[in-house]
Amino acid sequence: MADRSAAAGRRPSWLTRGPRVGPARPAPHWLRSFRSSRAARIFAEFPEAGILIATVAIFIGWSIFAPEFLTTDNLLSIGQQISFIGIVATGMTFLLIAGELDLSVGSMYGFLAIVFAVLVVDHGVNLLLAIAITILFGIVIGFVNGFFTTQFRIPSFIVTLGMLGVLRGAALVLSGGLPVGTVTDQTFNTVSAGLFFGAAVPAQVFWLAGVMIVAAILLAFTRFGYQVYATGGNRLAAAHAGIKTRRTKLFCFMLTGGLVGVIGVLAVGWLGNANPLTGQGFELQVIAAVVIGGTSLFGGAGSIFGTFLGAAIIGMISNGLILVGVDQYYQQLVTGTIIVAAALLNVTVRRATASEEE
């Protein structure tokens, strides 16, 4: 007993004193008013409402200030521009909801495009086999990221930041620092980058729609989707409920890697060759789309529809800036600012819509 008392005496006071007793600090008046408002109920039932309003407002704004914005060709061009961002952002949505992050997607994009081009152009590998190998490479890279994150408990930020450098270097070594040839298969070029419905709608728009529709169903209506939300919402509670949280996160990393493999293949058909510097800054655009789309930075909340709206906002802002004559170098500045603003809004809305603590 004396030993225990002596040990307690050596502990810092914050370890020995009990929990603070007394009433909790009341929430600000504006926060209590918001929680009881109809707007709060709308946001609770339809979290993407605010993002949808912002999307419509940006659309109307550019339509007024840049008349060329509203033309059919320009709108289809925006769809084409955001297609690759949206496809990878779909996988990133799963990751962020599960509570993880992948910063290597930009370098992975460039590396996998080089892998595909080298297989087809330099080694004459069958086109379908090369596509399968490229997507498999993406899944394996995702597995490596997820394995180190979940098994060794290294933050995904660190793991994928290291992988970013590894893959960019690998792309440069594999290609000798130069673009790799041209894939001349006409069917492949049509499927990956052709125009349909009277030479009007780009193929990339169909790829984006297909990936997002399948992913939305997977996330909202399947057991795996439930496990992703549960893992990011409360990992310990999910584990106690029998959900294998490590495996769930690992699958999310692999899904993201596989989708990067898909756009690596499509990019070669669209651009005509593979450049080892492809994808620089791409991860910033992907993360921006997901965060602007309302996916929680803390895990456990988000949707594919929100991510689509986020990607659309990124595309419309970039396109509109070009139409009004703003220098392209300012676009990354604007994107970074939007990410910070979206993160701030994310945290504010999360606090405002949360139930009041006792």
Q: What is the per-residue pLDDT for 43?
A: 60
pLDDT at 357: 41
Residue 53's pLDDT band, with cuts at 50, 70 and 90, is confident
What are the residue boundaries of the structural domains of the chain, listed by start?
A: 48-351
306 touches 294 (CB < 8 A): yes
Would you state the pLDDT for residue 130?
96
pLDDT of residue 2: 45
Taking the C-alpha atoms of residue 97 and residue 78, their distance in angstroms, rounded to an integer, is 27
176-181: Cβ within 8 A, 24+ apart: 177/276, 178/276, 179/273, 179/274, 179/275, 179/276, 180/114, 180/117, 180/118, 180/121, 180/122, 180/273, 180/274, 181/117, 181/121, 181/122, 181/273
Confidence of residue 48 (pLDDT cuts 50, 70, 90): confident
> What integer pLDDT is reported at residue 93 of this predicted model?
97
Least confident span in 61-70, 188-197, 327-336: 327-336
pLDDT on residue 16: 34
- What's residue 334's pLDDT? 79
Instruction: Reply yes or no on whether the pLDDT at 313 is more than 80.
Output: yes
Alpha-carbon distance of 86 to 46, in angstroms, equals 21
48-351 is classed in which CATH architecture? Orthogonal Bundle (1.10)
Higher pLDDT, 57 or 88: 88
- 212 versus 15: the higher-pLDDT residue is 212
- Per cent of the chain over pLDDT 90 is 61
**pLDDT, the chain, mean:** 85
Residue 11: is its pLDDT beyond 90? no
Q: Where are the alpha helices (DSSP H) in 22-155?
A: 29-35, 38-45, 49-65, 72-97, 105-117, 127-151
Residues paired with residue 201 on neighbouring β-strands, in sequence order: 196
In this structure, of 125-134, 180-189, 190-199, the range with the lowest mean pLDDT score is: 190-199
Is 37's pLDDT higher than 70?
no
Average pLDDT over residues 7-34: 46
Q: Which residue has the higher pLDDT, 141 or 187?
A: 141
Indicate if the pLDDT at residue 343 is higher than 80: no
Q: Tokens 């087809």 belong to which residue?
A: 120
- What digits encode the pLDDT tens for the residues 250-259? 999 999 999 9
Residue 78: count other Cβ atoms within 10 Å of its Cβ.
20
Higher pLDDT, 244 or 12: 244
Highest mean pLDDT among 25-34, 44-53, 120-129, 317-326: 120-129
pLDDT, tens digit (0-9, with 9 covering 90-100), for 159-178: 999 999 999 999 999 999 99
Contact 160, 96 (CB under 8 A): no
Beta bridge partners of 202: 195
Residue-wise over 188-217: b if at least 16 C-beta within 10 A, else e?
bbeebbbeeeeeebbbbbbbbeebbeebbe
Amino acid (1-letter code) at residue 356: E
Secondary structure (3-state) at 180: strand
Which residues neighbour 180 within 8 Å (Cβ) at sequence distance 6 or greater? 114, 117, 118, 121, 122, 273, 274
Give yes or no for residue 23 having a pLDDT over 90. Answer: no
